[in-house]
Amino acid sequence: MQISVIGTGYVGLVTGACLANTGQDVVCVDKDAELVERLGGGEVHIYESQLDELVEENLEDGRLEFTTDTQAAVAESDVVFIAVGTPTGADGAADLSAVEAVAAEIGDSIDGYTIVVCKSTVPVGTTRGVGEIIEGRTDEPFDVASNPEFLKEGAAVQDFQSPERVVIGSDSASVQQTLADIYRPFFQRSERFDSSPR
C-alpha cells in the first residue's frame, strides 16, 4: 500500500516515520523545499526521542521519502493523511486554511480511489467539509475519514508505536478496516484492538 502524509511537522513526520517502520511505503510532503532537502538527507528538524533513527533507517531501506510534489504523491497513493497545522487564532478558533488548501490540492490530484484521512487537530465537522472540497474538484472516487492524534511532545514516537487507543471515524466499513489494518502492527501484542465495523 502506498501512503502519503501531507505536512512534515510534529504529527506528520512522526506518523510518516512510524508507518514506514511497519513496512509501508510512505511519502511525506511539504512545500518547504529546504526542509524537504534536509529531511531527505536524514536531518530531522524537531527533537523527538528515536525519531532521527526511524527516519534514517527507513530512508536507507527505501520505505520513506520526502517531496514537495503534492500532486505526484497523492496521485500515486492509496491513502493520504492530512497532517498540516491548525493554529489557534486570537478568538480561540482553529485556522483551517491549510487543511482546506490541502483538500483542494488532493481534489485536483487524486487518480483512482483514494482514502483521505484527517490527522490534523480540527473541530467537529471538518472532515465533512474536506470531503465537500474534494468532491467539488474531482470525479474520482474517494472516502474521507477522521483519525485524530493523541501524541505528547517528547514521547510522540512511543505514543504512536504503543497507543492507548486509535480512533477511526468513517461511515464506510471498508475504510475502517483498511485503517485498522494500517494500525494493526502497533497492537499485535495487545488485546485492546477491535477492528469490527461500527
At 144, list the grid cell: 474521507
- pLDDT value of position 15: 97
In this structure, which long-range contacts are made by residues 36-42, counting pairs with CB atoms below 8 Å and at least 24 apart in sequence?
36/8, 36/66, 36/67, 36/68, 39/8, 39/13, 39/66, 40/65, 40/66
Q: Which residue has the cell 467539509?
A: 129
Q: What is the pLDDT of residue 151?
A: 83
3-state secondary structure the chain: CEEEEECCCHHHHHHHHHHHCCCCEEEEECCCHHHHHHHHCCCCCCCCCCHHHHHHHHHHCCCEEEECCHHHHHHCCCEEEECCCCCECCCCCECCHHHHHHHHHHHHHCCCCEEEEECCCCCCCHHHHHHHHHHCCCCCCEEEEECCCCCCCCCHHHHHHCCCCCCCECCCHHHHHHHHHHHHHHHCCCCCCCCCCC
Predicted model pTM: 0.91
Q: Over its length of 198 residues, how does the chain's per-residue pLDDT go in tens digits?
A: 999 999 999 899 999 999 999 999 999 999 999 999 999 999 999 988 899 999 999 999 999 999 999 999 999 999 999 999 876 777 777 778 899 999 999 999 999 999 999 998 777 788 999 999 999 999 999 999 999 888 888 888 999 999 888 999 999 999 999 999 999 999 875 444 444 444
Domains and CATH numbers, the chain: 2-187 (3.40.50.720)
**Residue 184: what pLDDT?**
93
Residue 165 confidence (pLDDT): 86
Predicted local confidence at residue 192, as pLDDT:
47
